[in-house]
């Protein structure tokens, strides 16, 4: 995400490199380039102009310390203003009440149904909530069935009625059902249209009036750029929603919607969708996103994702095996599964400072571990537990069983041995001192 904008901004800041001080002339030249970069990223022209005017005012109003180069100061100001432009800080969901009610709105194809499932999964796994999904889209073919499938995947109940029922009454009945069953959060998926129409707006306004939701979330496809911003404005005028959800942000290399929407509708971005999996949903943190736009990565989010998958007991078990040089292919594939649960591999790599730029043209997809997993699964339990017994004939059999070549099997075994050595070294201190784990809690 934001690849094009990140590259353009980096080029803009080069104008100030080598300059001894900030002047009105070199700031104007830099910000002219920054404004072009924002417009090329499909940022609303009024937002781009207001942004560069604010940055210029702040840059010219500051004295540059001898320890700080003008380009560094400009990057700092731009970072802070980008964060402010996107809302400044993360916006919490209002989950007061029993049950708390969250109403989804947006056009057809924006990802409302999928997001409803992702949000239910997030509230259940991270907030300890007992959500109920409600199918109020009675027009789109298979919308009710889709929500039931998602509910089954994440083990969350779904309330639905036949497609000929009134969506307002379905929503009312669902809330009664939630109260009866002790469910503390109701997520109502509503109908969308290919374009805004009066019938659609009247229906969702009627649902809003009937259920008095804590939150009305506007779900929009970020890849539609300025269309997303314009649609958000129209929905907000009719619904006065409480927050925005940007879906498909992982596929948006420009980022115009993320940078414009907060200013245009004066409502916070609360969540971003970063992939197709049910876990691919992040709370939106403006400061972290500003870091990513400026190529600084997002280590905090990366660590948070790792901690979500962290199993303390499993980590201790693995550490003991590494210390005894007993780390095997069963442990290796277990670690691969943990990494895969963290999300899209290219997205994860881009969170490491400096790596995003290196991998932007590389094709890294979620099948990166496919051959490795196939090779390991073609081993017998004895072979997985004892890699040392993998002689030539066993390797040939594993290659044939996994649909790979003997060269690929040999390459994996060599890499595995190197990983074992590195892990073994990492769990010990300097020679002569007592061996101890590298990491402590």
Q: pLDDT for 14-49, tens place per residue? A: 766 655 566 777 778 888 888 888 888 878 888 888
Query: Same domain for 147 and 179?
Result: yes
Task: Flag whether pLDDT at 242 surpasses 60.
Answer: yes
Q: Has residue 222 been placed in a domain?
A: yes
135, part of any domain: yes
Would you state the structure tokens that stand for residue 1, as one six-digit string?
A: 């995400």
CATH of the domain at 24: 1.20.120.140
pLDDT score at 440: 39
Q: Which of 299, 278, 292 is nearest to 341 (CA)?
A: 278
Model confidence at 67, in pLDDT bands (50, 70, 90)?
very low
CA–CA distances in Å: residue 232 to residues 198, 246, 371 = 16, 11, 43
Residues 242 and 317 in one domain: no
* 297-304 average pLDDT score: 57
Query: Domain containing 26: what range?
Result: 3-85
Q: At which of 57, 85, 113 does a domain end?
A: 85
pLDDT of res. 66: 45
The confidence score (pLDDT) of residue 400 equals 92
User: Is there a domain that residue 181 lies in?
Assistant: yes
Model pLDDT, residue 276: 78
Judge whether 245 lies within some domain. Answer: yes
Asked whether residue 165 falls in the same domain as residue 57, the answer is no
Same domain, 199 and 135: yes
Helix or strand or coil: residue 187? strand
Domain end call among 254, 274, 294? 294
Q: Do residues 352 and 270 both lie within one domain?
A: no
pLDDT at 68 over 60: no
Tell me: do 348 and 399 sit in the same domain. Answer: yes
Least confident of 77-91, 196-210, 286-300, 401-415: 286-300
Q: Is residue 432 part of a domain?
A: no
| Tally of domains within the chain | 3
- Tally Cβ neighbours within 10 Å of residue 69: 18
Looking at the fold, whether 258 and 312 belong to one and the same domain comes out as: no
Q: Are 195 and 107 in contact (CB under 8 A)?
A: yes
**pLDDT tens across 257-266, in order?**
778 888 888 8
pTM equals 0.67
Q: Verify that 18 and 63 share a domain, yes or no.
A: yes
107 and 218 share one domain: yes
Position 223 in a domain: yes
Residue 334 lies in a domain: yes
Residue 346 has a pLDDT of 60
Q: Which residue has the higher pLDDT, 147 or 279?
A: 147
On whether both 183 and 286 belong to a single domain, the answer is yes
pLDDT at 432: 44
Give me the residue label for tokens 């790979």.
Answer: 404
Domain boundary at 18, 52, 85, which? Answer: 85
Instruction: Check whether residue 261 and residue 142 sit in a common domain.
Output: yes
And the tokens for 208? Answer: 């809003």
List pLDDT tens digits, range 347-388: 665 555 544 554 455 555 556 678 888 999 999 999 988 988
Residues 259 and 328 reside in one and the same domain: no
Residue that wins the pLDDT comparison between 408 and 347: 408
- Is residue 429's pLDDT more than 50? no
Is a pLDDT exceeding 80 seen at residue 295? no
Give the pLDDT confidence score for residue 363 in this predicted structure: 54
Share of the chain above pLDDT 70, in %: 77
Count of CB atoms within 10 A of residue 140's CB? 16
């Amino acid at each position: 995400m934001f690849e094009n904008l990140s590259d353009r901004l980096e080029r803009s800041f080069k104008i100030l490199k080598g300059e001894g001080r900030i002047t009105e002339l070199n700031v104007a030249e830099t910000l002219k380039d920054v404004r072009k970069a924002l417009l090329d990223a499909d940022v609303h022209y009024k937002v781009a102009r207001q942004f560069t005017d604010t940055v210029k005012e702040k840059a010219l109003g500051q004295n540059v310390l001898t320890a700080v180069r003008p380009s560094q100061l400009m990057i700092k100001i731009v970072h802070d203003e980008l964060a402010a432009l996107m809302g400044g800080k993360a916006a919490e969901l209002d989950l007061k009440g029993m049950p708390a009610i969250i109403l989804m709105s947006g056009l057809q194809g924006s990802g409302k149904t999928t997001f409803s499932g992702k949000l239910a999964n997030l509230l259940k796994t991270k907030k300890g909530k007992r959500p109920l999904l409600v199918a109020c889209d009675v027009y789109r073919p298979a919308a009710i069935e889709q929500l039931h499938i998602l509910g089954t995947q994440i083990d969350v109940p779904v309330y639905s009625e036949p497609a000929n029922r009134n969506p307002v009454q379905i929503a009312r009945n669902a809330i009664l059902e939630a109260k009866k069953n002790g469910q503390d959060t109701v997520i109502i998926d509503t109908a969308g249209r290919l374009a805004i129409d009066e019938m659609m707006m009247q229906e969702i306004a009627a649902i809003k009036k009937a259920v008095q939701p804590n939150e009305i979330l506007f779900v929009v496809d970020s890849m539609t750029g300025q269309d997303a911003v314009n649609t958000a404005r129209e929905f907000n005028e009719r619904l006065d929603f409480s927050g925005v959800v940007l879906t498909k942000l992982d596929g948006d290399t420009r980022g115009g919607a993320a940078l414009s929407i907060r200013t245009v509708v004066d409502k916070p971005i609360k969540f971003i969708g970063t992939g197709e999996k049910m876990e691919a949903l992040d709370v939106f943190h403006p400061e972290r996103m500003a870091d990513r736009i400026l190529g600084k990565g997002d280590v905090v989010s990366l660590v948070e994702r790792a901690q979500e998958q962290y199993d303390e007991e499993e980590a201790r078990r693995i550490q003991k095996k590494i210390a005894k040089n007993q780390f095997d292919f069963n442990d290796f594939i277990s670690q691969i599964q943990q990494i895969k649960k963290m999300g899209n591999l290219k997205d994860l790599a881009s969170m490491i400072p400096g790596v995003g730029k290196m991998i932007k043209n590389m094709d890294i997809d979620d099948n990166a571990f496919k051959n490795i997993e196939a090779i390991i699964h073609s081993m017998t339990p004895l072979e997985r537990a004892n890699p040392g017994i993998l002689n030539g004939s066993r390797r040939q059999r594993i290659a044939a069983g996994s649909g790979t070549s003997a060269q690929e099997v040999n390459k994996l075994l060599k890499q595995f041995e190197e990983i074992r050595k590195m892990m073994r070294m990492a769990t010990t201190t300097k020679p002569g001192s007592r061996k101890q784990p590298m990491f402590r809690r």
